[in-house]
Structure 1
Amino acid sequence: MTPGAPEPLWLIAANVVRWRRYGDMGQELRPGTKAYRGGAKVYVVGTYGGMGHEQLTTVGRGRHSARWITIDTATRHLHTFRAKLVYAPAVLRRAGAPVWATEEAARGMAELLDRVARNERRGYHGGAHPEPCSCHACLTGE
């Protein structure tokens, strides 16, 4: 490691869903989110929204500028949560204080967030999926 570089941290990496349901009863599909492209890799640097973890603070490359951004994202718009040791200075500057001190803590939170995201996607829109549907839940068979 180079002198003056920030210490690596265990964070949770995730990907933005390629397609998400949107609109009245979830009958429309939109790619990614307003801030991130579908499939973009993001790092979770914080959670909130009560014990349900409905909202996450994420760091990733923005949809329009490809610059690093920090933004709050709904958990249901992310998938494939995993623990990752992060060395990128741009991410570490935005992450602030260590959120998960060990790999085991990060892995445990990643598993929890994966379950929460799956449940949120299932229950957020009350209506049936449009036909044909290419949202993340339909594409992956959740």
Structure 2
Amino acid sequence: MAATDRSRFFRSLTLWWAVGAVFVGCADGVVPDQPASFVCKCPAGKPCPTDVCDVQIEISTTTCAGKVGKVEVLLGDQLDPEPVTYGTPRRTCATIGRGQVLKLHVRSDTTWQWIEDLACPPAGPSDTQGVTVVRVLNCQTAANP
């Protein structure tokens, strides 16, 4: 190969390497991490299957008036797809397996947040549906920052 052919080859190779590096760098940084996706086992208006518990979140209208407008709910690694709004209690789509404990992390649109371990009781032999664990978020706890 002549010197000019080698030079042209290496320039071409360097150009393609640079284009590839830019493409990979852009593609690598474009997509943010997404929360774990999950299938909603407890659709609105229907009971949960016997093998899971869901959670009903309510923002206290007595203690949270003017302090919290809405909250997002993370149960284990499941980020609930819809926020819970003040004055509207809502069952989550996120679930806990019967007999298991998951971390419940509720974060508001202000500085309030609630973190606790949430347990789903084991299924009993006569259970015909899952359990809904109710949590009322109170804005008077000393644990808030």
Greater relative contact order: 1 or 2 (C-alpha under 8 angstroms, separation 6 or more)? Answer: 1
Q: TM-score range by the shorter chain?
A: under 0.3
Structure label with greater radius of gyration:
2
TM-score, scaled to structure 2: 0.26
